[in-house]
Amino acid sequence: MAENLRNWVRKLDEITARGGTDGYAKVDLMPWCTYIAFDVIGALAFGVPFGMVEKGKDEFETQLPDGSVLLTKGAEILNRRGEVSSTLGWLPSLRPFARYLPDPCFSKGLASIQDLHGIAARAVSDRLAEMEKQEDNHLDILALLLKSKGPGGLPMQPDEITSEALTQLIAGSDTVSNTSCAIVYWILAGERDAPGTILPRLHQELDTAISSSAAIASYARVKSLPFLRRCVDEGMRLHSTSAIGLPRLVTAVSGVWFDEIHFPYGTVLSVPSYTVHHDAKIWGNDVGRFNPDRFLAKNLTSRQKMAFNPFSHGPRACVGQNVALMELSLIVATLFRRYDFVLEQKVLECTEGFSKKPVECWVRIKRRI
């Protein structure tokens, strides 16, 4: 991840170099959060970044069913896939007819699913070719998949490996990009609403932990920084990456009881994290304000601990949450250690499919160190 972060910082430095007389350059951070998140998951899952940071645009290769290759927009097709998947997840009876529905959301969304499969297929086919030439020396998730065994101890087939690789891509790209952008927004919004309460504390903590000669943060230096972690947690509380409650089926024959309400066997339930994270009965009357100190151990109630679920809970919780927290910590620490920001918009407008995606995040940025 370090090399991808260095490349990202180099590109952001180029943007700041074009600043005006006050040293600030205006930029939409959302695309740049997308580029770094995709490049990092490309390196972690497939051994090589997708090259979005270097190109400065949402573009990489996908393989079509006939084997041909074309350039496609990864973030865009993930958004379309999320929109159609969330709709069909709630209305599964529509699945057999989705391709025939007149709303382009369905036709474009289904096409995006095929495009995403092609991205993973391209990565898998490239690696299989390297293996045949005995040139595969990668240490990544795909390497583990290629060496893994399926039922009966047999090697996994290419289509199985592609499906698993696709899962890594979907789970680790736009979720991190959306959340990192939102956290930056909320930190700046918190400082704007209460000047002197957020950024001076964050800067002091980062300046103490990170060497003045370091261009990027290292996880060893920032993983235990308490105020940084509280900023990340409070940003995740306010944003809530998954915009919808994930459906769960009541499997107990006797059903379940909750707060004197009985839900019989077969009932579909969900707990939208956004709703829980914005419940004033749980978080207080300042529920809509960025306040990292609500996550201080002395302030956090047992009910708040239970209610805070950015990665869900239990056996179906996000398996990549530790990697995600590492990425978020490094991105946020690197940005606020190296740059000064001025927020240029009043609200963070978002679109909602499976994920909650910021439309844009305009800031003014200049080098701080």
Q: Where are the domains of the chain?
A: 2-241+272-367
Find the helix or strand (DSSP H, E) in which 125 lies: helix 104-132
> Residue 63 — pLDDT band, cuts 50, 70, 90?
low
pTM: 0.89
Nearest to 40 by CA among 7, 62, 11, 83: 7
Share of the chain above pLDDT 70, in %: 95
The pLDDT tens digits of the residues spanning 277-328 come to 999 999 999 999 999 999 999 999 999 999 999 998 888 788 889 999 999 9
pLDDT the model gives residue 209: 97
Find the helix or strand (DSSP H, E) in which 305 lies: helix 302-307
- What are the angstrom distances between the C-alpha of 292 and each of 120, 164, 202? 38, 36, 11
> Residue 106 — pLDDT band, cuts 50, 70, 90?
confident
DSSP 142-200: HHHHHH-B-GGGPBPPHHHHHHHHHHHHHHHSHHHHHHHHHHHHHHHHHHHHSTTSSHH
**Known binding-site positions:** 318
> Residue 188 — pLDDT band, cuts 50, 70, 90?
very high
**Known binding-site positions for heme:** 318
- Classify residue 232 as exposed, middle or buried by CB count within 10 Å of its CB (0-12, 13-18, 19+): buried
> CB neighbours (10 Å) of residue 277?
21
pLDDT the model gives residue 69: 64
More confident residue, 67 or 220: 220
Looking at domain 2-241+272-367, its CATH class is mainly alpha
Q: Would you say residue 39 has pLDDT above 80?
A: yes
With both helix axes pointing from N to C terminus, report the angle between 2-16 and 29-46 in degrees, rounded to the nearest 10.
160
Token pair, residue 171, equals 């789970």
The pLDDT tens digits of the residues spanning 199-255 come to 999 999 999 999 989 999 999 999 999 999 999 999 999 998 886 788 889 999 999
Strands 268-269 and 248-249, by their bridges, are antiparallel
Q: Quick one: average pLDDT of 174-197?
A: 97
Q: Quick one: average pLDDT of 35-40?
A: 93
Q: Quick one: average pLDDT of 151-179?
A: 82
Find the helix or strand (DSSP H, E) in which 25 lies: strand 25-28
Backbone phi, then psi, for 264, in 5-degree steps? Answer: -75, 170
